[in-house]
Structure 1
Amino acid sequence: MPNILATRIDNRLVHGQVGMTWTSWLGANLVLVADDILAEDKVQQNLMDMVLADGVQSRYFSVQKTIDVIHKASPKQKIFLVCRTPQTVLALVEGGVPISAVNVGNLHFAEGKKQIDKTVSVTEDDIRCFKALVEKGIPCTVQGIPADAKKDILSLL
């Protein structure tokens, strides 16, 4: 069983809050980004690696590769799983990735989205995915940084 310490949805993927604050707070030694676009973009990967805490490794896998290899992770790997969207997290769960809870950090506002918290805006499909995750017994909470109070996403919809 892979040692997934936390799963975060953040459309910025790896940035200061993820690379330093969350990894240090969790005690993670591996940030695994499951994202089809970033898996192919070495320049963005290198930029994101620059904000990782000392001693923290990174992997940038497609959604399918994450599903295929996550169960081969060493128990010594303390994994912080980061995804861009709730659709990605739902696909991982449906693919057998053992996600026990979801932290929602940032989903940018855009045309057609409803703002539900200061850093979280959702589409109807995002709402469908969050409801599906909760129905599978996976709590989803909004929390920017560890010091912030957790807010149940369904109470914000």
Structure 2
Amino acid sequence: MPNILLTRIDNRLIHGQVGMTWTNHLGANLIVVANDQVATDEVQQNLMDMAVAEPIETRYFTLQETIDKIHYAAEDQLIFLVVKTPQDVLRLVAGQVPIKKVNIGNMHFSEGKKQISSTVSVDDEDVRAFHRLHELGVKLEIRRVPDEKSLDILKFI
């Protein structure tokens, strides 16, 4: 069983809050980014790696690679899993990735989305994905940084 400490939805993927603040708070030693585009984009990977302090390691996998490889994680790998969307989380859960808790950190506003907190905006597809994740027993919280109070997203959607 992979040791996934937390899964975070953040459409920026790795940046200072993820690479330093959250990783230190969780005690993670590995950040796994599950994203189809970034998995093949070395420039983006290199930029994101600059936000991660040694000795934290990073891996960039497609969603399917994450599903296929996560169960081979070593026992001493303390994993912080980062994705862009709730649909990505739903796909991982459907693929048997053992995700118990999701931190919703950043979902940018765009046309067709409704802002529900200072950093989270959702559309109907996002809402459906969050409700399905809840039905599957996944705990869902909005929290930008570790020292903020956790908010239950279901109270806002």
TM-score (norm 2): 0.99
Q: CA deviation at 1:141?
A: 0.5
Shift of 1:54: 1.9
The one-letter amino acid of 2:75's match is P
Q: Which AA in structure 1 matches 2:109? A: F
Alpha-carbon distance in 1 for matches of 2:84, 2:19: 15
Q: Work out the number of aligned pairs and report it.
A: 157
Find the counterpart in structure 1 of residue 91 from structure 2: 91
Instruction: Name the residue aligned to 1:129.
Output: 129
The CA deviation string for residues 79-111 of structure 1, in whole angstroms up to 9 with x for no partner, is 000000000000000000000110000000000
Amino acid at match of 1:20: M
- Residue 53 of structure 1 and its aligned partner are, at CA, apart by 2.1
Identity of aligned residues (%): 59
Counting only pairs closer than 5 Å after superposition, residues 57-136 of structure 1 correspond to structure 2 as 57-136=57-136
Query: Is 2:17 the partner of 1:17?
Result: yes
Counterpart in the other structure of 1:43: 43
The 8 Å contact of residues 105 and 144 in structure 1, kept in 2 or not, is answered as yes
- Inter-partner Cα distance in structure 1 for 2:54 and 2:123: 36
For structure 2, the residue ranges without an aligned partner over 5 or more in a row are none
Q: How high is the TM-score relative to the length of structure 1?
A: 0.99
Separation (CA, whole Å) in 1 of partners of 2:62 and 2:20: 23
* Deviation of the 1:139 alpha carbon: 1.1
Q: Which residue of 2 aligns with 1:52?
A: 52
Q: Deviations over 1:27-59 (max 9, x none)?
A: 000000000010010000000000102210000
2:54 and 2:104 mapped to 1: Cα distance?
24
Amino acid at match of 1:119: T
C-alpha RMSD of matched pairs (Å): 0.4
Does the 8 Å CA contact 1:24/1:53 hold for their aligned counterparts?
A: no
> Is 1:4 the counterpart of 2:1 in the alignment?
no
Show CA shifts across 1:124-146 (max 9, x none).
00000000000011011100000
Letter in 1 for 2:33: V
Aligned partners of 1:45 and 1:102: how far apart in 2?
23
SS in 2 for 1:76: coil
